[in-house]
Chains A and B, each alone.
Chain A
Amino acid sequence: MRRARIGLLVLAAILLALPLALPNAFYFDVVNRMAINAIVVLGLNLLIGFAGQISLGHAGFFGIGAYASAVLTTHFGWSPLAALVAGAVAAALLALAIAPPIFRLRGHYLAMATLGLGIVISIVIRNEATYTGGPDGMPVPPLAAFGFEIGGEREWYWVLAGLLLFSVWACQNLIDSPFGRALRALHGSEVASQVVGVDVTRYKVTIFALSAFFASIVGSLSAHYVGFVTPNCAEFFHSVELLTMVIVGGMASVFGSVIGAVLLTALPQALATIEGWETVAFGVILIVSMIFLPKGLVPTLAAKIGWGR
């Protein structure tokens, strides 16, 4: 825990100092998108890395948040904050509703069920064009609350940096709490946790709903930040991107989530020139890191320096 806190302080220092080093709005934008991804990936890593439950449909929850913010504000005149909360609650409720049957499944079945869920969500978004604009997407008004409006990359930077710090802190606490211990235990041995009283399905369902909740909130923020949503944000490839971030950074590693998000957000910048190669690159990265760095960057490096985790 002490090492985790040192890490948190280092992250805080970096986030405070970073604005001095970023030359222009373009770089702020890149960092903001890194932060957005990092927060989703933290939640996803709780599910995949700590609890050991794969999800191939997480972009679906991100999409629910993004479209709740877009549709409820544009078509129904909701305030952005109310829309954000509604989206997050809806995502969590949907997760709660479908999770009990899903988490009786393991391995392939779980992968498939979560994937199917994501696909169904993106199909709905594409088809309900009257509200969502269909495949073309729709604009989203800026985020305004309590008389303030967040505008521009720099203002967003502070919002997202603050949220990222909070998320890292909350994740560290959670992992170190009785709930988090049970979560890691059911990953290590499901039967062993059961016979000491851990209701494993309940834990899986709860963490699934929590990570859906976070994904949706970040989806909302991201929609406001970018000012536009398209169905791509809810689609399989986005789920795979998020998964890749978890795996490259390191499963069951809080800072791994952040590093994974940073690296793989930077990658498309370098590859964006040729369409198709980005897909190939993600594929190769997935395969290579799964074979040669199955624990991910941060845990592997930590083990090298002799830091437990």
Chain B
Amino acid sequence: MALLEVSGLSKTFGGVRAVQDVSFAVEPGVVYAVIGPNGAGKTTLFNLITGIYTPCVGEIRLGGQPVTSLPPHALARLGMGRTFQNLQICMNMTAIENVMVGGHLSLDRNLIKGMLRFPAVRRADAALRERAAALMARVGLGDQLDVPAASMSYGGLKRLEIARALAATPRILFLDEPAAGFNPKETAEIAVLVREIADSGITVVLVEHDMKMVMSISDRILVLNYGKRLAEGTARDIRADPEVIAAYLGTAA
């Protein structure tokens, strides 16, 4: 059974039809890519699925359960995780604290216990810190644990987004342009990381403009254009699709 099923999803902003009647399904354990020109509606699609926006029409199911219009924090409980194209980092905290926020749901968040410094709370927090440090090492930030997020480089922050999302141990992870702004070497590192994440059992939905990366690591690809589904299939299907070629080369289909 598909882990994520999206059917007939639409969203308009004033006059802009950002996403129109988009349907697709993602099988567990795969890397599923969503591509399309700038403004095609990829980020909007992510925002709809992860509960940031409410869809005008359409339905979303996670593991067979309807989750349309649930708030983001409820979706996080059900195992949805994501990163942001326009970085959403807590600049008032250190790098590792940002990652630890990702592990929020795994902790005892009781106010009184925290205020009175219960030993069990402290121990669990220390354990999360170790896990966060390991995740930071995994995304290549092992040497920046206690650096204030505000003083990190753009590339560092992009990696930090991934580490934070992983700290939440999601079932399905939405990555919005994780390699944007990276050089070819860094992009290759991210590609390996994404593949590893998928191989570890976390389903990945990926938006990325780097076609080399998309084609090499994706199991299936969805192409959006002007908010509409243009094509869907394996990398080979997509590369051969005349409509996709037309959209990307800018000629009339």
- Asked if chains A and B are in direct contact (CB within 8 A), the reply is yes
Contact of A199 among B50, B73, B81 (CB under 8 A): B73
Closest Cβ–Cβ distance, residue B189 to chain A (whole Å): 23
Whether A197 and B164, one on each chain, are in contact in the complex, defined by CB atoms closer than 8 angstroms, is: no
Alpha-carbon separation in the docked complex, A192 to B90 (Å): 8
Whether A191 and B109, one on each chain, are in contact in the complex, defined by CB atoms closer than 8 angstroms, is: no
User: In the complex, which residues of chain B have a beta carbon less than 8 angstroms from the beta carbon of A185?
Assistant: 90, 93, 97-98, 101, 104
Q: Which residues of A262-282 have CB atoms within 8 Å of chain B's CB atoms? A: none
Closest Cβ–Cβ distance, residue B166 to chain A (whole Å): 10
Contact of B111 among A179, A194, A195 (CB under 8 A): A179
Contact of B72 among A178, A179, A187, A195 (CB under 8 A): A195
Whether B92 and A252, one on each chain, are in contact in the complex, defined by CB atoms closer than 8 angstroms, is: yes
- B182 located at the interface, meaning its Cβ lies under 8 Å from any Cβ of chain A in the complex: no
Among the 9-residue stretches A73-81, A169-177, A241-249, A283-291, the one with 4 or more Cβ atoms under 8 Å from chain B is: A169-177
Whether B121 and A194, one on each chain, are in contact in the complex, defined by CB atoms closer than 8 angstroms, is: no
User: In the complex, which residues of chain B have a beta carbon less than 8 angstroms from the beta carbon of A198?
Assistant: 73, 101, 104
Whether B91 and A188, one on each chain, are in contact in the complex, defined by CB atoms closer than 8 angstroms, is: yes
Whether B168 and A196, one on each chain, are in contact in the complex, defined by CB atoms closer than 8 angstroms, is: yes
User: In the complex, which residues of chain A have a beta carbon less than 8 angstroms from the beta carbon of B75?
Assistant: 195
Closest Cβ–Cβ distance, residue A230 to chain B (whole Å): 32
Alpha-carbon separation in the docked complex, A187 to B88 (Å): 11
Whether B76 and A178, one on each chain, are in contact in the complex, defined by CB atoms closer than 8 angstroms, is: no
- B63 located at the interface, meaning its Cβ lies under 8 Å from any Cβ of chain A in the complex: no
User: From DSSP, what is the main secondary structure of chain A's interface residues?
Assistant: helix
Binary per-residue interface labels of chain B (94-107) against chain A in the complex, 1 for a CB within 8 Å, 0 otherwise: 00011011111101
- A106 located at the interface, meaning its Cβ lies under 8 Å from any Cβ of chain B in the complex: no
Q: Which residue of B is nearest A197, CB measured?
A: B76
Whether A196 and B102, one on each chain, are in contact in the complex, defined by CB atoms closer than 8 angstroms, is: yes
Whether A178 and B121, one on each chain, are in contact in the complex, defined by CB atoms closer than 8 angstroms, is: yes
User: In the complex, which residues of chain A have a beta carbon less than 8 angstroms from the beta carbon of B107?
Assistant: 178
Alpha-carbon separation in the docked complex, A177 to B97 (Å): 11
Q: Which residues of A178-217 have CB atoms within 8 Å of chain B's CB atoms? A: 178-182, 184-185, 187-189, 191-200, 206, 210
Q: Which residues of A121-170 have CB atoms within 8 Å of chain B's CB atoms? A: 170
User: In the complex, which residues of chain A have a beta carbon less than 8 angstroms from the beta carbon of B114?
Assistant: 173-174, 176-180
User: In the complex, which residues of chain A have a beta carbon less than 8 angstroms from the beta carbon of B167?
Assistant: 196
Q: Which residues of B103-160 have CB atoms within 8 Å of chain A's CB atoms? A: 103-105, 107-111, 113-117, 121, 124-125, 148-149
Closest Cβ–Cβ distance, residue A256 to chain B (whole Å): 14
Closest Cβ–Cβ distance, residue B103 to chain A (whole Å): 8
User: In the complex, which residues of chain A have a beta carbon less than 8 angstroms from the beta carbon of B235?
Assistant: none
- A308 located at the interface, meaning its Cβ lies under 8 Å from any Cβ of chain B in the complex: yes
Alpha-carbon separation in the docked complex, A210 to B115 (Å): 11
- B204 located at the interface, meaning its Cβ lies under 8 Å from any Cβ of chain A in the complex: no
- B184 located at the interface, meaning its Cβ lies under 8 Å from any Cβ of chain A in the complex: no
Whether B110 and A196, one on each chain, are in contact in the complex, defined by CB atoms closer than 8 angstroms, is: no
Closest Cβ–Cβ distance, residue A153 to chain B (whole Å): 29
User: In the complex, which residues of chain A have a beta carbon less than 8 angstroms from the beta carbon of B116?
Assistant: 170, 173
Whether A191 and B52, one on each chain, are in contact in the complex, defined by CB atoms closer than 8 angstroms, is: yes
Whether B125 and A177, one on each chain, are in contact in the complex, defined by CB atoms closer than 8 angstroms, is: yes
Whether B93 and A184, one on each chain, are in contact in the complex, defined by CB atoms closer than 8 angstroms, is: yes
Whether A181 and B76, one on each chain, are in contact in the complex, defined by CB atoms closer than 8 angstroms, is: no
Question: Known contacts A179-B109, A179-B111, A179-B114: does B93 contact A188 (CB below 8 Å)?
Answer: yes
Alpha-carbon separation in the docked complex, A80 to B5 (Å): 61
Closest Cβ–Cβ distance, residue A36 to chain B (whole Å): 20
Question: Known contacts A185-B93, A188-B90, A189-B89: does B164 contact A196 (CB below 8 Å)?
Answer: yes
Whether A192 and B81, one on each chain, are in contact in the complex, defined by CB atoms closer than 8 angstroms, is: no
User: In the complex, which residues of chain A have a beta carbon less than 8 angstroms from the beta carbon of B100?
Assistant: 181
Using A174-B115, A184-B92 as known contacts, list a sample of 6 further A-B pairs with CB atoms less than 8 Å apart, ordered by residue number in A: A170-B116, A177-B117, A177-B125, A179-B115, A195-B72, A195-B165
